[in-house]
Structure 1
Amino acid sequence: MNNLLIYLIQVTSIFSVLYFVYLLFFRRLTFHTINRVILILLLPISILTPILSNLFPILSSKIVEVPLFEYVAFNSLDQQVFNSPQKELMSSFLDYNAVLMGIYFLIVTVYLVRVLINILSIFLLKNRSIIKKQEGYKLIFADVPEIFSYFKWIFIPKKDFKEYNNQIVEHEKSHIILKHSWDVILSELYISFFWFNPLLYFYRKSLKSIHEFQADNEVLQKGIKTSEYMELLLQSLEIQKPNNLYNYFNQPILKKRITMMTKPKSKRISKIIYVILFPIFTMLILAFTKHSEENSSYIKTINIPKLTGDLPSLFPVKNISKKSIVASFGKSIKSPITKKPFFHGGIDIIASTGTPVVASADGIINKASSENAWGNLIVIKHSHGYETWYAHLNGFNVTKNQKVKKGDVIGYVGNTGRSLRPHLHYEVKQNGIRLNPKDFIQ
């Protein structure tokens, strides 16, 4: 659920940035076809950019792959921690998240049902109306207040059966030829899933304005005088309950239409401004792209210098003995959250927050950063392909690429990441394979 919430926020952010760019640079230009394409592309681009960014991450010089951290339960002597207020808080958070997602999907369903009802209402309206076939479209004489088009149908009020305005019909034919109904359906479906973004309702108006500009331009190119056409528009304003799926010929954007019809055409050189979209789109891709250490398919390797020093044999927590190990390597442990058993890849050592954590052998710091469920994580590269991992730290005492000696303080015990109390999760690997740390500790 959290991943879905993050994805929705990412899509909304990308859409909002690109739509603001449109409003700022393009909406006043008379290149209506280009503007229409841009507005339609905003929808798939915003949906796909976060997905593509995850599929094709940026290659990085980092070499460590951080796998998903499996939650580690403590052994039987420490199980009471799971009945603490911390567990209740986590359960409350999960319930809150579920409620939030439930509300989201409920509203999505309402929007989708509304779209479906509007579509069905048009079909029902058509079925009980008089139909007159024309070349490439149909005239539907129905109980409607004004002329409007929907795909290849032009709905005309029954009162105008014998005499209707051909110029308005030509306007609606332009909508049919330009396939504007597909744009409207697509935008309504998008709004259904991202209804919480207030900019979408302004976007809907922008898209319909472009449709009107295109249709008006098509009519005027057929020889109709601009003054006569504008007078006709002023006579066509009685829409009582506009429907977002098909209503075009309406009052709210009339002023914009008249302004656009009388506005001088934008110069061709102005098209160069559209180039601004490329760097903006590139920046968005980079902003949502994960680095290579988060994707095992894109791990670069570097030469690790041969190090002197013995194997990782020193106990990793200072002034603490093996008696403080509360979860062993390899033991199948049931997670108190998922209730599913899993293989434990290291050992857990109980200690107070701030207790020094030491390097168990000579090495080079290959990672010292926050890693989601691992919390603050340090990875040290040793000789002979060995690595040691130190998770849930309270803080770092080293930096990446720093050389350390056996026994050097590298960090401090903490409770970061997916952890219910202060402890160190410690792992030993050789050539990427997890080994039992107890076999090395002397």
Structure 2
Amino acid sequence: MRDFLLYLSEAALCLAAFALLYRLSLHRLTTFQANRIYLLSAVVLSLSIPLMPWPMRGSDAVMLPSRDVFLPLVNALPIQELPEVGEAKAVLSTDVTATPHTASPVDWGRIALFTVLGLYLLGAVAKLVALGRNLGHLYRLLRRNLVVREGAYRMVYLTQEGPAFSFLRWIVLSRTQQQLPEAERAQVIRHEAVHLAQGHTWDLLFFELAGVAFWFHPALYYLKRELRSVHEYIADAEVGRRDPRTYSHLLLKLAQASRAHASTPLVTSFAALPLKKRIRKLTQAPSSIWQQSKFALALPLVGGLLWGCALTNEVIPVATLTSSSVEPRARIGTITWTGNTWYDDATLTQVLGVQEGDPYDKAEIQKRLWFNPGGQDVASFYKKGEYVFFRVEEEVTERENHTVDLTFHLEEDQPLKIRDIGYGFSRTDSEVSSGVSVDALTDVLLEVENKIPTQMGDWFDRTKLMETQHIMEALELFDPERVEIVLKPVQAVEEGDEGNYVSVDISMAPKGLPWVTVRYNGEVVKMNEALLLDAVGTLSVEVNDPTGVLPDGEPIKAAIMLIHDRQKVEELRFDDYREVENYDLSGLWKKAQPGDRLFVGVNEVDFFFAELH
């Protein structure tokens, strides 16, 4: 819900910016078709710019709580991959006794959000009902009057007074226009035919639909009013430029006759106001090239809006007030927990290690929530009790005197059991690269397998998993900086199984193998990191050996594979890994779908894999 409201805010800001530029620089120009394109593009861009994906910085991605159940675990396990966030300011005992749960206070912030959302939906529904009512009125009007096919259009002759107008393929003439002399009536029909030929009705329908979403925004109504005026300028220029004086008299004549009859906002009316501007535009000199160059001002405006939306999208909007906007010297006010059933507020606050009056530090709070190298964090506290399926989101509310209230929203689920444990390392280039046989590496794993604290069938315990990682890092044959533990959710395989299950994959690299870095759209990505199916995605592979060859003289090769449901969809091989630099993935993405996996290998070793979304 907060994401939706943030999107509305950003789109509303874009609409206001485009409307302001049009008002200050463009509305006086006689480039009517260009003005029409600008007005339509302003709405399209305003709706699109806030939706454009922007990659988060690596540190932000680690520090912020994930919306995915397993992402906090994947980010937290490899210690060497976490950024330095400073030492903890307090060390707590791990023996925290749970006390009876106390009721949490009313969450007024969420109530306010739901109230705002409810009012917004009421306005949108009212706007949608009004649109349906106008369409129904037009349908009845067309059905109840005489319709005559004339060429590509349908002429509708009304029996009552009113303005002439057009809609889709219908040109509607009231008794007022039917009584005009033949020459004047022909001009009215030509005017309305221009509207139909250029699709002006579709422009108005598009603005009406946008008005359902942005019924509250005055900038949209301004842009729509200007678009209707531009429509009339275009039709007037086509019909009245040859004899502007006679055409102006016809405009005044029909405007007086039609002043008492209002038309629906869905149609283009011949006698639409403002007449003074329409008559002046007929005789106004064409805009010079210098004046037309003002449209170039839209380019820096679009760039600025893209940059502004990118700043807000760098941080997942999980708070009423984003943590980045709080001044560094702010002090913590109240601390509230919602959704907690296993532990009460006092226990969780004690585990968090902060209290009222402490300085507010966003990075420190996130560390104490998700990963504290000392092991004292809320995530570890839950997972120490076989409780891994849980999420927490921080909400920050700014108060007076540089004070912030913290509310933590928790979601709890079932405990987790370890279904199986897998070990993986290269079986092709290990001997060449490290001088150690595959059998020797296997023997080491078999010897250490029974000594690690994490075993199949155990309840999940992150503390034991961290101990397992330290043991694997201490093995002499493997590179300690390249030990990774990845958790994968699995379903129960036997009927009657209870709870949730996880598969533990431990991947290692023998010493001597090249160090590989994978970048997606220029940003470093980690093993098992979720990737967005971006139509303009690029991939780069970097190796810490600039020679491009292994110790035995073999070139360092690279491969990219797309896997769907354990079946290879596409495989790309490169004789030199340096060919994979800003490699365009658009062709590969056309064959991919959410849920597929992307593997990147160097000399047959899978250094990186990711799930696509």
Q: Same fold (TM over 0.5)?
A: yes
For residue 337 of structure 1, report the CA deviation from its aligned partner: 3.3
* Alignment check: 8 A CA contact 1:144 1:156 kept: no
Which SS does the other structure have where 1:131 is aligned?
Answer: strand
Q: Which runs of 5+ in 2 are unaligned?
A: 70-95, 317-336, 379-402, 410-459, 468-613
Look up the match of 1:326. Answer: none
Give the aligned partner of residue 28 of structure 1.
28
- The match for 2:129 is 113
Q: 1:47 to 1:349 in 2, by over 3 A?
A: closer
Asked if 1 retains the 8 angstrom alpha-carbon contact of 2:154 and 2:169, the reply is yes
Does 1:370 pair with 2:362? Answer: yes
Q: Structure 1 residues 389 and 191, CA, compared in 2 at 3 Å: closer, same or farther?
A: farther
Query: Displacement, 1:2?
Result: 2.1
C-alpha spacing 1:44/1:118, structure 2 compared with 1 (3 Å): same
**1:79 matched residue in structure 2:** 101
Give the aligned partner of residue 339 of structure 2. 337
CA contact (8 A) 2:145 2:156 kept: yes
Structure with larger RCO (C-alpha < 8 A, sep 6+): 1
Deviates more, 1:121-130 or 1:193-202: 193-202
Shift in Å at residue 255 of structure 1? 1.2
CA contact (8 A) 1:141 1:158 kept: yes
Given residue 28 of structure 2, which amino acid in structure 1 is its aligned partner? Answer: R
* C-alpha spacing 1:379/1:174, structure 2 compared with 1 (3 Å): same
Distance of aligned partners of 1:154 and 1:4 in 2 relative to their CA distance in 1, 3 Å threshold? same
Amino acid at match of 1:147: A
Partner amino acid, structure 2, of 1:228: T
CA distance in 1, matches of 2:126, 2:278: 32
| Alpha-carbon distance, 1:349 to partner | 4.4
Report deviation, 1:381. Answer: 11
Aligned partner of residue 67 in structure 1, secondary structure? coil
TM normalised by structure 2 equals: 0.49
The question of 1:168 aligning with 2:168 is answered no
Deviations 1:35-65 (A, max 9, x none): 100100111111111110xx13366787745
The answer to whether structure 1 residue 154 and structure 2 residue 171 are counterparts is: yes
Query: 1:381-427 deviations in whole A, cap 9, x for unaligned?
Result: 99xxx697979xxxxxxxxxxxxxxxxxxxxxx9854349xxxxxxx
For residues 338 and 197 of structure 1, do their structure 2 counterparts lie closer, same or farther at Cα, with a shift above 3 Å needed? farther
Amino-acid identity (%): 21
Are 1:248 and 2:266 an aligned pair? no
- Residue identity matched to 1:337: G
| Structure 1 position 6, deviation (Å) | 1.6
Equivalent pair of 1:137/1:152 in contact (CA under 8 Å) = yes
In structure 1, the residue matched to 2:248 is: 230
- How many matched pairs? 337
Alignment equivalent of 1:276, drawn from 285, 294, 297: 297
Separation in 2, partners of 1:434, 1:353:
31
| TM-score under structure 1 length normalisation | 0.66
> Mapping of 1:405-424 within 5 angstroms?
417-419=406-408
**Per-residue deviation, 1:147:** 0.8
State the SS of the aligned residue for 1:289: helix
Task: Output the CA distance in 2 between the equivalents of 1:227 and 1:389.
Answer: 84
> Deviation at 1:98?
1.9
Aligned partner (choices 463, 468, 472) of residue 436 of structure 1: 463
Contact preservation (8 Å) 1:213, 1:257: yes
Contact 1:353 1:415 in 2 (8 A): no
Gap change, CA 1:48 and 1:101, over 3 Å in 2: same
Aligned-pair distance for 1:280? Answer: 1.1
CA separation of 1:96 and 1:149: change in aligned 2, threshold 3 A: same
Cα distance in 2 between the residues matched to 1:24 and 1:158: 41
Q: How does 1:348-363 map to 2 (within 5 A)?
A: 348-349=351-352, 352-353=355-356
- Distance, in Å, in 2 between the alignment partners of 1:15 and 1:194 is 10
Q: Is the 8 A contact 2:349 2:355 kept in 1?
A: no
The answer for the alignment partner of 1:315 in structure 2 is: none
Structure 2 CA distance for aligned equivalents of residues 380 and 123 of structure 1: 60
Q: Secondary structure at the match of 1:191?
A: helix
Q: Which residue of 1 aligns with 2:116?
A: 100
| 1:80-111: CA deviation from partner (whole Å, max 9, x where unpaired) | 2x34xxx12x1x33233223212211111111
| Corresponding residue for residue 41 of structure 1 | 41
Residue 285 of structure 1 corresponds to 306
8 Å contact from structure 2 (residues 19, 223) kept in 1: yes
SS in 1 for 2:172: strand
